[in-house]
Chain A
Amino acid sequence: MALNILCCVKRVPMTGGRIVLTADEQAIETRHLGFTISPHEECGVEEAVRLIEANGGSSTVLALGPAEAEEQLRDCMALGIDRAIHLVAGDEFDGQATARAIVEAIEAERAAGTEYDIVFFGNESADAGGFQVGIRVAHALGRPCVTGVKAVALEDGGLRLEQEVPGGRDVYRVTLPAVVTVKEGLNLPRYPSVPGRLRAKKKPLEARTPERGSQGVEKVRLVVPADEGSQTEVLGRGPEAAPAVVELLERIGVAG
């Protein structure tokens, strides 16, 4: 059964050890940073590529973000995604506006004859952590939505999905078309190959410019949380520090 799959990914900075904000406190200072997508979304991309390899069909990746987000779209295509949709937006959109723009793109695709059987999202975006875009898109499209998924299997023309919950895994069975939000651990994503990177440069990328509209969660400013200012006590250097470590473990009562 050939499948048509869409994956939604968001370009975010790789922040490293410390977050520095721009002077206007509206964004992370990214001058010295690289960019990536959430590990959850990487697993969505990998799952899409595997499903298409096994069943045939076509995969598409979509990102709403600045012109530079083309980098993340090409990265996904280097891993085996067939084509990309770039919703070009300078400013960040809130969850409602993001979902609106993605739904418009999916409807335009449908009008052009492409119907997605599965739409993969991350469970939450790395930066905003809104926990909502996938669910909002599912409602707008009238499709079932399962979140936090760590196992995907095609079964009787539908999907069997596992969601991690405290103490076990809950199993869902849904018919297609469906929306699935996934978590890291679903699979171990592959690395891009050199031929994959070369092919990605030539794969089709369509751009559109969505309306941002009003923001229901309107960012005022970002704040780096005050760190607790812990003084670090250096117990020693090298293996000679072992007795001091044991003393510490005994003092706090965990030495066994």
Chain B
Amino acid sequence: MSSVLVLVEHDGAAADDLSRQAATLARGYAEAAGVGLEAILIGPGAADAAAGLGELGVAKAHVAEHDGLSQFAPQAWGRTIAGLAGRLAPAAVVGPGSERAAEVMAHAAAIADLPFAANCISAAPGDPAAVTRVRWGGSLLEEARLHGATKLLTVAAHAVEATPAAAPAQTEVAAFTPELADADLAARVVERAQTDTGGGISLADAKVVVSGGRGAGSAEGFAAIEELAGLLGGAVGCSRAVTIAGWRPHTDQVGQTGTKIAPEIYIPCGISGATQHMAGCKGAKRILAINTDPDAPMIANADYAVIGDLHEVVPAIVAALKARGG
């Protein structure tokens, strides 16, 4: 066992946050296994991003070079990882918690015919390795034994705090050329379609999110919620009960199968607090729940609550905000 290999995603200049988190877990795993930490980087600008990895304790960075890798092609990415892993026989390959990383790691696992554990929050080396992984979008954890000659896993987003290595490494950057077949490039990105940004604040990045649930009653029931979000410079969200009723588009849905949010304050109005909804708003710093039912799970999960009808409470908050210094 020569090393632990971390998959580093980057913007062409530096490792991204999720990859720094993955490198932190991978470094702990490597130390516990008594081996070194190495990295694999793919895509345009990989060599530049590789040069900055010493701080994370990466002794050697393998940079894939191939014309076929200039556009994202998931199977080609997976083949590149599986090929290097086949050559280095690392104890583990650790990927970051992005969906794209999960995708390419699953391709690598399929090619190498190895097990793959997505979204781990901890991993201890051994044969089998002991991992704890996320289920149900974070509402449930699974302790599992991960088998395979090389352990393949990704690190759940924001489960591990990225820290620099106690002793920074001098990263040796080594280029390699993966062997890709035409079939590896059959599915590849051929163009980037614009989505309507509309100048609005994106749900994922908003500092304030005001959401409505079934309690809003109708599409029109969102008028005061929209006004409150507007006054606070925030975004409007909703529960799945709302999207399947057709009151709001799915792009507004917070939760396990919607958007994950991380605002300073989250204001769910008329949302019961199902685990699948909570999976999307766990990153909120504070929750202020507005609900008629004092026993709703959302109230128990919240930091602050107003018990009452959202159709009365939300307009009253809007009026009080407008009246301020007015």
Give chain A's interface residues, CB within 8 Å of chain B. 15-19, 28, 38-40, 94-96, 99, 123-124, 126-132, 135-136, 138-140, 142, 144-148, 162, 164-165, 167-175, 178, 183-185, 188-189, 214-225, 227, 230-243, 245-246, 248-249, 252-256
Q: Which residue of B lies closest to A238 (CB)?
A: B308
Residues of A within 8 A of B253 (CB): 184-185
Beta-carbon contact of B319 and A132 below 8 Å: no
Other than A15-B276, A145-B187, A235-B288, give 17 A-B pairs with Cβ distance below 8 A. A94-B115, A126-B256, A126-B257, A127-B135, A129-B136, A167-B195, A170-B191, A170-B192, A184-B253, A188-B246, A216-B115, A223-B132, A230-B302, A234-B305, A241-B316, A245-B306, A249-B232
Query: Is B320 an interface residue when CB atoms closer than 8 A count as contact?
Result: yes
Q: How far is the CA of A248 from the CA of B285 in the complex (A)?
A: 13
Query: Are A19 and B139 also in contact (CB < 8 A) when A170-B72, A216-B147, A219-B144 are?
Result: yes
Closest approach, in angstroms, between the C-beta of A1 and any C-beta of chain B?
Answer: 20
Query: Are A135 and B324 also in contact (CB < 8 A) when A18-B275, A225-B140 are?
Result: no
Beta-carbon contact of B321 and A238 below 8 Å: no
Query: Are A127 and B110 also in contact (CB < 8 A) when A16-B274, A135-B103, A239-B308 are?
Result: no
Q: Could you pull out 28 A-B pairs where Cβ atoms are within 8 angstroms?
A: A15-B139, A124-B118, A129-B118, A129-B119, A129-B137, A131-B119, A132-B102, A132-B118, A135-B107, A147-B74, A167-B195, A170-B193, A178-B187, A189-B244, A216-B147, A220-B130, A225-B140, A225-B141, A227-B301, A233-B303, A233-B304, A233-B305, A235-B304, A239-B312, A242-B320, A245-B304, A246-B324, A249-B321
Query: Is B158 an interface residue when CB atoms closer than 8 A count as contact?
Result: no
Q: Which residues 16-72 of B have a CB within 8 angstroms of A?
A: 72
Beta-carbon contact of A236 and B306 below 8 Å: yes
Q: Which residues 182-219 of B have a CB within 8 angstroms of A?
A: 183, 186-195, 207-208
Residues of B within 8 A of A233 (CB): 303-305
Residues of B within 8 A of A232 (CB): 289, 299-300, 302-305
Give chain B's interface residues, CB within 8 Å of chain A. 72, 74-75, 99-100, 102-103, 106-107, 109-111, 113-119, 128, 130, 132-148, 183, 186-195, 207-208, 231-234, 240, 243-244, 246, 249-251, 253, 256-258, 264-265, 272-276, 286, 288-289, 294, 296-297, 299-309, 312-313, 315-317, 319-321, 324
Beta-carbon contact of A242 and B317 below 8 Å: yes
Residues of B within 8 A of A235 (CB): 288, 304-306
Beta-carbon contact of B256 and A217 below 8 Å: no
Beta-carbon contact of A169 and B286 below 8 Å: no
Beta-carbon contact of B146 and A217 below 8 Å: yes
Closest approach, in angstroms, between the C-beta of A243 and any C-beta of chain B?
Answer: 6
Beta-carbon contact of B306 and A234 below 8 Å: yes
Q: How far is the CA of A220 from the CA of B145 in the complex (A)?
A: 7
Q: Which residue of B lies closest to A186 (CB)?
A: B250
Q: How far is the CA of A249 from the CA of B207 in the complex (A)?
A: 12
Beta-carbon contact of A252 and B136 below 8 Å: no
- Which one of A15, A173, A238 lies within 8 Å of B274 (CB-CB)? A15
Residues of A within 8 A of B250 (CB): 184-185, 188
Q: How far is the CA of A189 from the CA of B146 in the complex (A)?
A: 37
- Which one of B106, B146, B305 lies within 8 Å of A135 (CB-CB)? B106
Beta-carbon contact of B116 and A175 below 8 Å: no
Beta-carbon contact of B275 and A19 below 8 Å: yes
Residues of B within 8 A of A164 (CB): 195
Beta-carbon contact of B186 and A243 below 8 Å: no
Query: Are A172 and B188 also in contact (CB < 8 A) when A233-B305, A238-B313, A242-B320 are?
Result: yes
Q: How far is the CA of A82 from the CA of B66 in the complex (A)?
A: 45
Beta-carbon contact of B309 and A131 below 8 Å: no
Beta-carbon contact of B308 and A241 below 8 Å: yes
Residues of A within 8 A of B208 (CB): 254
Beta-carbon contact of A170 and B195 below 8 Å: no
- Which one of B99, B187, B207, B272 lies within 8 Å of A174 (CB-CB)? B187
Residues of A within 8 A of B132 (CB): 223
Closest approach, in angstroms, between the C-beta of A221 and any C-beta of chain B?
Answer: 5
The list of the 6 closest CB pairs from A to B, nearest first, reads A216-B115, A17-B297, A239-B316, A185-B250, A139-B110, A242-B316
Q: How far is the CA of A237 from the CA of B254 in the complex (A)?
A: 26
Beta-carbon contact of A172 and B187 below 8 Å: yes
Q: Which residue of A lies closest to B313 (CB)?
A: A239
Residues of A within 8 A of B308 (CB): 236-239, 241
